């Protein structure tokens, strides 16, 4: 999947993303600082009916949300971690193998922990107000 979108089109992109990832639970979201990873995850959570506030887990490492259907979504931000050991201590593996959807920012910090069927999604700045989302399974 390769889609260009602007902020007003983000919900449409989030719906297409969810259709593309269907039954695969762990998504590694790659992108430079400011590319819009957290904003995109917020849109995905809205599409899933998450009622509680969606925010960056930069300091907490892992945020847990509940969908309208009673499912759990884990939003992880590995940016502040310095090693795979810190990721393990934070409970990252527990999330990955929980069977729940995991949306992970900065996956480059601990690539060896990700399950084999992890989806890699890339958000790139394509212009001042435009982003490109590329999904590789």
Beta-sheet pairing, 26-30 with 119-127: parallel
Domain total for the chain? Answer: 1
pLDDT confidence tier of residue 135, bands split at 50, 70 and 90: very high
Q: For residue 137, give the 3-state DSSP assignment.
A: coil
Provide mean pLDDT across the span 113-136.
93
Q: 68 vs 15, 52, 72, 100, CA distance in Å?
A: 16, 10, 10, 14
> Which residues fall within 8 angstroms of residue 111, CB to CB, at 6 or more apart?
none
Per-residue model confidence (pLDDT) at position 18? 93
Per-residue model confidence (pLDDT) at position 89? 95
Assess contact for 37 and 29: CB atoms under 8 A: yes
Per-residue model confidence (pLDDT) at position 59? 73
Range of the domain at 14: 2-136
pLDDT in tens, 31-69: 999 999 999 999 999 999 998 878 777 778 999 999 988
DSSP 86-132: HHHHHTHHHHHTSSSEEEEE-GGGSGGGS-TT-EEEEEEEEETTEEE
Q: What are phi and psi of 24, to 5 degrees?
A: -95, 130
pLDDT confidence tier of residue 137, bands split at 50, 70 and 90: confident
pTM for the model stands at: 0.92
Q: For residue 77, give the 3-state DSSP assignment.
A: strand
Beta-sheet pairing, 26-30 with 101-105: parallel
CB neighbours of residue 120 within 10 Å:
15
pLDDT in tens, 66-89: 998 899 999 999 999 999 999 999
Per-residue model confidence (pLDDT) at position 58? 72
Provide mean pLDDT across the span 5-28.
92
Q: What is the CATH number of the domain that holds 56?
A: 3.40.50.300
């Amino acid at each position: 999947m390769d889609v260009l979108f602007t902020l007003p089109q983000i919900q449409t992109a989030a719906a297409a993303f969810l259709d593309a990832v269907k039954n695969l639970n762990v998504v590694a979201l790659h992108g430079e600082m400011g590319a819009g990873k957290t904003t995109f995850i917020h849109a995905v959570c809205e599409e899933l009916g998450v009622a509680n506030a969606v925010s960056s887990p930069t300091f907490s490492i892992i945020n847990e949300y509940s969908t309208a259907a009673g499912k759990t979504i884990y939003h992880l931000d590995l940016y502040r971690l310095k090693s795979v050991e810190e990721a393990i201590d934070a409970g990252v593996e527990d999330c990955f193998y929980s069977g729940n959807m995991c949306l992970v920012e900065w996956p480059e910090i601990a690539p060896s922990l990700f399950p084999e069927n992890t989806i890699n999604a890339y958000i790139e700045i394509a212009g001042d107000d435009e982003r490109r989302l590329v999904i590789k399974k």
